[in-house]
Amino acid sequence: MSKRRPTPPDSYTVLLIGGGGREHALAWKLRQSPRVKALYATHTQNAGIASLSQPIDHAHSMRELYRLELFCERAGVNLVVVGPEAPLAEGIAEKLTTPGRVVFGPGRQAAQLEADKAWAKQIMRAAAVPTAESRVFKHPEEAKRYLETREEAPVIKATGLAAGKGVYLPDTLEEAIKAIDEIMVQRRFGDAGAQVLLEERLSGPEASVLALVDGRSILVLDQAQDHKRIGEGDTGPNTGGMGAYCPAHVLTDEQMTRVEREVFLPIVDTLRRDDIEYRGILYAGLMLTPAGPKVLEFNVRFGDPECQALLPRMKCDFAELCWRTATGTLDECELSFDPRHACCVVLAQHGYPGESKKGAAITGVDEVERAGVHVFHASTTRSPSGELLSGGGRVLSVVAMGDTLEQARERANAAAATIRFEGKVYRRDIGAKALVTH
Ligand code: AMP
Ligand code: GLY
Looking at all shown ligands, the one closest to residue 131's CA atom is: 1
Looking at all shown ligands, the one closest to residue 18's CA atom is: 2
Where are the strands (E) in 18-152, listed by range?
Answer: 36-41, 54-55, 79-82, 102-104, 134-137
386, with CB counted inside 10 A (0-12, 13-18, 19+), is exposed
What pTM was computed for the model?
0.96
Counting every residue, how long is the chain?
438
Region of poorest pLDDT, from 22-31, 57-66, 316-325, 398-407: 57-66
Give the per-residue SS3 of 204-228.
CCEEEEEEEEECCCEEECCCEEECC
- Strand, coil or helix: what is 404? coil
Cβ of 306 less than 6 Å from ligand 1: no
Q: Specify the residue with its C-alpha closest to ligand 1, atom 19.
A: 201
Do the Cβ atoms of 213 and 268 come closer than 8 Å? yes
DSSP state of 390: E
| 296 Cα to the center of ligand 1, angstroms | 6
Write the CA distances from 263 to 27, 89, 210, 296, integer angstroms: 30, 21, 11, 12
For 433, other C-beta atoms within 10 Å of its C-beta total: 17
Q: Is the pLDDT of residue 340 over 60?
A: yes
Within 13 Å of residue 51, how many CA atoms lie on the same side as its CB?
13
> What pLDDT, on a 0 to 100 scale, did the predictor assign at position 1?
47
Q: Which of the four pLDDT bands, split at 50, 70 and 90, describes residue 435?
A: confident
| 208 Cα to the center of ligand 2, angstroms | 9
Mean pLDDT calculated for residue range 291-309? 97
Mean pLDDT calculated for residue range 267-277? 96
- Please write the tens of the pLDDT for every residue from 251-260: 999 999 999 9
Cβ of 202 less than 6 Å from ligand 1: yes
| 63 Cα to the center of ligand 2, angstroms | 25
Mean pLDDT calculated for residue range 54-72? 92
In angstroms, the CA 93 to CA 16 distance is 12
Q: Is the pLDDT of residue 369 over 80?
A: yes
In angstroms, the CA 44 to CA 54 distance is 7
Do the Cβ atoms of 299 and 208 come closer than 8 Å? no
Alpha helices in 154-238 (DSSP H): 173-180
Question: Terminus-to-terminus CA distance in the chain, angstroms?
Answer: 52
Q: Which of 238, 287, 304, 306 to mutate to test the pocket of ligand 1 (most atoms within 8 A of CB)?
A: 287
